[in-house]
Amino acid sequence: DKREQLPERFAECGLDPAAPRVQKWLWLAEQLRGFPRHLTQHVGGFVMSRGPLARLVPVENTAMPERTVIQWDKDDLDAVGLMKVDVLALGMLSAIRRMLAILGEISGRPQTMADIPAEDADTYAMLCRADSMGVFQVESRAQMAMLPRLKPRRFYDLVVEVALVRPGPIQGDMVHPYLKRRQGRERIEPISPAVDAVLERTYGVPIFQEQVMQLAIVAASFTPGEADQLRRAMAAWRRKGNLQRYQDKLRAGMAANGLPAEFAERIALQIQGFGEYGFPESHAASFALLVYASAWLKRHHPAVFLCGLLNSQPMGFYSPSMLIQDARRHGVVVRPPDVLHSDWESRIDADGAVRLGLGEIKGLSKAAGERIAALRQHVDPSAAVNPEKCPISSVAQLAAQAGLQRRDLDLLAAADALAGLAGHRRQAAWAVGAAAPPPAPVQRDLFAGQAVAEPAVALAAPSEGENLVADYQRLGHTLRRHPLSLLREHLTARRFLTAGELPRIGDRALVRVAGIVTGRQRPGTATGIVFVTLEDETGWSNIVVHPQLVEKQRRELLGASLLGVYGQLQKEGEVIHLVAKRLVDLSPWLGRLATSSRDFH
């Protein structure tokens, strides 16, 4: 927000803009604006030199022991001719490694990415439906909207898909011409044999940095060295204006080679768009390989796919809750964390179901979880606990043998992970109190050391709503009915549709939807538009909030957990968006889940 808008934003949050502390905060924020946040270390970059590096560049220690950082940036290093290598880490690589390891355990032989069949039709069909939650790179809202339009059917289509949804191609107006030509709705005008050869694979539209370099050489008579300088300018996309100095030479060169002025102007503007970040083809191809591998695993081994993603968190666009709900909609059976069955990480049970790990429990230490898992062998999750196979028969025994503190036991009980030992949450909490009483008070207890037998008490089980609330508090997700299933009667009475009903509604229809807010995105290329994802018991709704409504209803947009949206459907093939006209904060309804339905009004 602009400086003059900040007091208004503070007032919306309930703070007095005139308060001294708020005024001091505003002053400090103004002083800090534009300053580098901190000197940071590239996560996988290193520099090589022939002699001792410290004699050539200033080197300083970092906060991490035995690590140093060079004080120059990459352009300084390039100017003096030092070699810099970037080794980038991707969370999806770890996730795929875990998935393939699980597949290897199931199949009995090691699995690598080379074992994944190429050009699988079912995988591409899944991507064409934008069924890509959790899939590398193509899981964002923008990529999901692009998939049904581009309809990838071969590997090179994925290379283009990865590169096309980037600020450079979007700002350079390359997306719509590419799609129209790919779909046969726009003719590809021949320019010259040399230019046509460069752009042949992308329907006459430059999408990759390599194509821009080749165009500069064959169309504008750049030397290879000048084309490389152009590439460097495109790569330095954060520094505005670097490409501008090449525009005159590009236009003059294309004119001298007799190319049409209209084509020259279009190419110059498209190259200018690369100043907002475009992809090299080699980079896009590497990413496309991971797109295909992760998509194939999702399509053919959805349980393994989910397990690998959960054990690689945090990563990607989506929370474990959304990944779990998506997997269940694909037929995956997911079982809750349980001290009698779970390891620390999630795993695949003998019958193919996903058993969530104890690591899903918020606040539980890894050491405590691994001690619990080490106590027992895996038992058949579909059968009753056999005491002969499982050495844990009570909460007290679990606490003693695993060395658990009262806090650990409280977390397990609250997460319903003691169900196999003690029953429902309330019964488990009672058993924890008996097995591990709270720490002794500072003052001496008159009855210290006296054995007190805890009487057996039959407590009423929590309601479904209470269990839902507790699941989200302790696990961040639930395997029970979706919260909106409990609220559906009240939502229907107010004419709110489900996400599953939207495909049957006509384009431009006025509708209402409601859902739990699972994502808010405001891309820099979207001119102030905010994209919101809502989840209900049938799926997800994609909401588009234009800047005027963002300003008018900022509090509802940013503060609501359960959001109602009045809007107009926008349908293009299989892509459905709801353009919001009005927002309603329904969050108080979630707070009443644990109460009776009479409380809704």
Whether the predicted pLDDT of 157 surpasses 50: yes
- At residue 593 the predicted structure's pLDDT band, cuts being 50, 70 and 90, is confident
CB atoms within 10 A of CB 159: 27
Mean pLDDT of 556-574: 89
| Domain identity same for 67 and 198 | no
Residue from 35, 141, 47 nearest 521 by CA: 141
CA distances from 420 to 47, 53, 345, 413, 551 (A): 55, 60, 19, 11, 51
Report how far residue 230's alpha carbon sits from residue 227's, in angstroms, rounded to the nearest whole number. 5
| Domain identity same for 71 and 176 | no
User: Would you call 25 helix, strand, or coil by DSSP?
Assistant: helix
Whether residue 290 contacts residue 312, with contact meaning beta carbons closer than 8 Å, is answered with no
Instruction: Write the single-letter amino acid at 340.
Output: L
Domain of residue 259 covers: 93-284
Q: So what's the pLDDT on residue 441?
A: 55
- Ranges 159-168, 228-237, 278-287: which has the least confidence: 228-237
Report how far residue 293's alpha carbon sits from residue 103's, in angstroms, rounded to the nearest whole number. 13
Structure tokens belonging to residue 433: 């109190």
Report how far residue 589's alpha carbon sits from residue 317's, in angstroms, rounded to the nearest whole number. 26
Percent of the chain residues past pLDDT 90, beyond the cut: 38
- pLDDT tens for each residue of 389-422: 556 778 888 888 888 889 999 999 999 999 888 8
Q: Residues in the chain, how many? A: 601
Q: So what's the pLDDT on residue 361?
A: 94
Whether the predicted pLDDT of 543 surpasses 80: yes
Structure tokens belonging to residue 314: 């945090």
| Domain identity same for 55 and 78 | yes
Cβ neighbours of residue 362 under 8 Å, at least 6 residues apart? 411, 415, 473, 474, 475, 476
Pairing of strands 510-521, 530-536: antiparallel
Q: What is the DSSP letter of 497?
A: B
- Ranges 174-183, 293-302, 357-366, 491-500: which has the least confidence: 174-183
Percent of the chain residues past pLDDT 70, beyond the cut: 87
| Domain identity same for 125 and 237 | yes
542, β-bridge pairs: 533
Instruction: Write the single-letter amino acid at 46.
Output: F
Residue from 254, 256, 284 nearest 271 by CA: 254
| Domain identity same for 106 and 138 | yes
Whether residue 270 contacts residue 263, with contact meaning beta carbons closer than 8 Å, is answered with no
| Domain identity same for 414 and 499 | no
* Side-chain-side CA neighbours of residue 62 (13 Å): 14
- At residue 47 the predicted structure's pLDDT band, cuts being 50, 70 and 90, is confident
- pLDDT tens for each residue of 324-342: 999 999 999 999 999 999 9
| Domain identity same for 194 and 259 | yes
Report how far residue 280's alpha carbon sits from residue 211's, in angstroms, rounded to the nearest whole number. 9
Structure tokens belonging to residue 513: 């939807």
Q: So what's the pLDDT on residue 339?
A: 92
13, β-bridge pairs: none
Q: What is the mean pLDDT of the chain?
A: 84
| Domain identity same for 79 and 103 | no
Q: What is the DSSP string of 173-240?
A: T-HHHHHHHHTTSS------HHHHHHHGGGTT---SHHHHHHHHHHHH---HHHHHHHHHHHH-TTST
| Domain identity same for 111 and 204 | yes
**Domain-terminating residue out of 284, 300, 319:** 284
- pLDDT tens for each residue of 205-216: 888 888 888 888
The residue ranking higher by pLDDT, 423 or 269, is 423
**Domain-terminating residue out of 284, 306, 322:** 284
- At residue 385 the predicted structure's pLDDT band, cuts being 50, 70 and 90, is very low
Report how far residue 362's alpha carbon sits from residue 261's, in angstroms, rounded to the nearest whole number. 62
Chain center to CA of 480: 23
Pairing of strands 68-70, 83-86: unpaired
Mean pLDDT of 133-156: 92
Q: So what's the pLDDT on residue 525?
A: 60
| Domain identity same for 55 and 128 | no
The three-state (H, E, C) secondary structure of 246-311, written as one string: HHHHHHHHHHHCCCCHHHHHHHHHHHHHHHHCCCCHHHHHHHHHHHHHHHHHHHHCHHHHHHHHHC
Whether residue 536 contacts residue 484, with contact meaning beta carbons closer than 8 Å, is answered with yes
User: Would you call 573 helix, strand, or coil by DSSP?
Assistant: coil
| Domain identity same for 270 and 402 | no
| Domain identity same for 115 and 224 | yes
- pLDDT tens for each residue of 468-489: 888 988 998 899 999 899 889 9
85, β-bridge pairs: 46
Q: What is the DSSP string of 82-122?
A: -EEEE----HHHHHHHHHHHHHHHHHTS---GGGSPSS-HH
- pLDDT tens for each residue of 126-138: 999 999 999 999 9
What CATH number is given to the structural domain containing 536?
Answer: 2.40.50.140
Q: So what's the pLDDT on residue 601?
A: 38
Report how far residue 229's alpha carbon sits from residue 490's, in angstroms, rounded to the nearest whole number. 62
Whether the predicted pLDDT of 257 surpasses 70: yes
Name the domain count of the chain.
Answer: 5
299 located within any domain: no
- pLDDT tens for each residue of 495-523: 999 999 999 998 899 999 999 998 888 87
CB atoms within 10 A of CB 368: 21
501 located within any domain: yes
